Structure 1
Amino acid sequence: MTVYVGGIRFIKPVSIGDIVKVDATVIHTGNTSIHIAVDVFSRHIADPEYKKTTHCVIVFVSVDQNGKPQHVKPWIPKTEVEKKFCEYAQTLTKLRDSISKEMKPFF
């Protein structure tokens, strides 16, 4: 189940007729959640090089057959890049929690 999409950055538009490529990478796991960084790239059919157009982080919660959250296998970052992405995911989580707390009186 998707519970959050955030940290969205629109870098450049995708034009009609462009070829689109999507890369998704696990960057953090919680007890029941998986954080995935998604990068979207596009290129004109005549251009050999893709350019990044969008970036975001999607958080999924693993649920059992009854819709209850269930434990996920931990993902352990190994490389420096993976460790930085993991820190990024944790920072986004803190920001999201802070924003939710601030907005709570309005919902």
Structure 2
Amino acid sequence: MPFNHSIKLMITYTVPALETITMLLLILGKRFSGLVLSLLLLLSFTIYIILVLSHFFPKTPCSCGGLISTMSWKMHFWFNLMFIVINVYCLIYIQRKGGSQAQQR
């Protein structure tokens, strides 16, 4: 990543910690909070992808890490966008379902 050392260090520890917290929230039944945190992570990475695609950084970083290493940056963008849409749909569904249950009581 084209970031200075202190930002790289912060990202190295913060992102996996937030991903773990997100997973725990979802597993422990705190779906809405987990989905909100998941959406924030997805949006953050999508903004990074947009910066890469717009040549904001002097050098384009490789997209070679992780399970989806064969994807180009454009494919990463569309992949993330798809999951952002799914995430937002789930958040709306949970809100509506929770609202309708409250009205039934």
Coarse TM-score class (shorter-chain normalised):
0.3 to 0.5
Greater share of residues in strand: 1
Which protein, 1 or 2, shows the higher relative CO under an 8 Å CA cutoff with sep ≥ 6?
Answer: 1
TM-score by length of structure 1 reads 0.34
